Structure 1
Amino acid sequence: MKKSVMALGVVIILSATGASFAQQNSGMAASGTAGMVGRESKSEFDRMNKKGAADVAAIRATSAKLSSADQSLMLEVAKGGMKQLEMSKVAVQKAGNEAVRQLAQAEVAEQTGLSAKLKEIAQAKGVSLPSAPDAETQAALTRLQGVSGAAFDRMYVTESGVKGHEKLDSVMGKVESSAADANLKSIAQAAHPLVKNHLNVSRDIMTKMANGATGSR
């Protein structure tokens, strides 16, 4: 009889301890995933964004004229950036997934700073850049405005987060390898690491959404 009581007591203690461990592990898991953007910590994501913005802002425009080839490259960067900016402005307002919203906020900040610097450089060199979204961007915005909820999050991350950054990644690579103008090269060197980072974060977010980790507000 005493053995039965002792055994029961051990079971009760172990059960209580197990519950305590489960609660602790649950808390640890929650804290481990809190403040993440994709697979990256929010603090590291913010640090990368601040560094990219500072690097772009530090570029000093010169009046050296651009070749026609460099003008075309600058136009590609400007158009791609404007598309990312306009789509991300919509996502800041409509995203339901917290990581998607944070990505969109970072993209708005990045592209606003990049656009301002491009305009400064273009003005110094006597080059005109588009002041409004082109037909391709308008069509993308119309499609994006037509969806909501999880479908919106998926479309934004697919079209802007992944495809948009893949295109910018390619354009920045071309600028780095073939541009003759020092300002243009500096733009690519400053912004390209951030483009790559946002592309990787976007792919991570898309994978998490596909696996059911919504992170919705």
Structure 2
Amino acid sequence: MSATRLTRHALVACAALFATGALAQSSYPPAPTGDKSSERRMENRLASEDRDFLENASQAGQVEIEGSRLAEEKATSAEVKTFAKQMIEDHTKAHRELVTLATRKGFTLPDEGSIMQRTELTALKAVSGETFDKMYASRIGVNAHEKTLELFREAASKAKDPEIKAYAAKYVPALEKHLGMARTLRDRVGKE
């Protein structure tokens, strides 16, 4: 075999090995490095619906926690304060787990609720007494849990990523329980 032909075969073999290695490497998600561009590449591997769920679940949880902290300070009803304390504990635990999941997926969660959710919190801050209790029970207790439960049920049945699907399914029963508690609370403080 001539030197030119041998060199050509060696180049073809090297090119084939390089291409195979490059393809094999691209099938694994990059490890989180703190580099925002690699995090965006990982984030883009998630289906848009899964990214939306992570974002919306984070915002909903943060609003529940912040609204419930307000209730611990401002509520006049002991029952509202007890409910708020339970919401803080449960939603903080779920949010920590969500942060861990999102980090593994290379997804950066928002730092606060949506504009509409922040407007709800601002409205809560502006009232006091029985009006606060009724508003908290209705808006943060019932309305927010109805929306969050719907969000989690949908992700539990339709999420593309199995870990996201499992996370959503895990919290559906707790959210159903919260909604029942919130409805009872709303009925009681509405009658006082």
- Structure 2 length-normalised TM: 0.73
What is the CA RMSD across the aligned residues, in angstroms? 1.7
Equivalent-residue separation in structure 2 for 1:94 and 1:211 (angstroms): 19
Taking every aligned residue pair, what percent have the same amino acid on both sides?
28
Matched residue count = 150
Moved over 3 A (4+): none
The residue number in structure 1 matching 2:12 is none
Confirm or deny: 8 A CA contact 2:80 2:133 kept in the other structure: yes
Tell me if 1:186 matches 2:166: yes
CA displacement at 1:152 relative to structure 2: 0.4
Give per-residue Cα distances to partners, 1:135-182, cap 9 Å, x unaligned.
223211211011111100000000010000000111011011101212
Confirm or deny: 8 A CA contact 2:59 2:112 kept in the other structure: no
The residue number in structure 2 matching 1:134 is 114
Tell me if 1:145 matches 2:129: no
Unaligned runs of 5+ in 2: 1-41
Confirm or deny: 8 A CA contact 2:152 2:172 kept in the other structure: yes
Amino acid at match of 2:168: A
Confirm or deny: 8 A CA contact 2:124 2:135 kept in the other structure: yes
Counterparts of residues 98-109 of structure 1 (less than 5 Å): 98-109=78-89
Worse overlay, 77-86 or 131-140:
131-140
Unaligned runs of 5+ in 1: 1-62, 213-217
The residue number in structure 1 matching 2:57 is 77
Higher relative contact order (CA 8 A, sep 6+): 1
Tell me if 1:172 matches 2:147: no
Equivalent-residue separation in structure 1 for 2:112 and 2:62 (angstroms): 8
Equivalent-residue separation in structure 2 for 1:73 and 1:142 (angstroms): 24
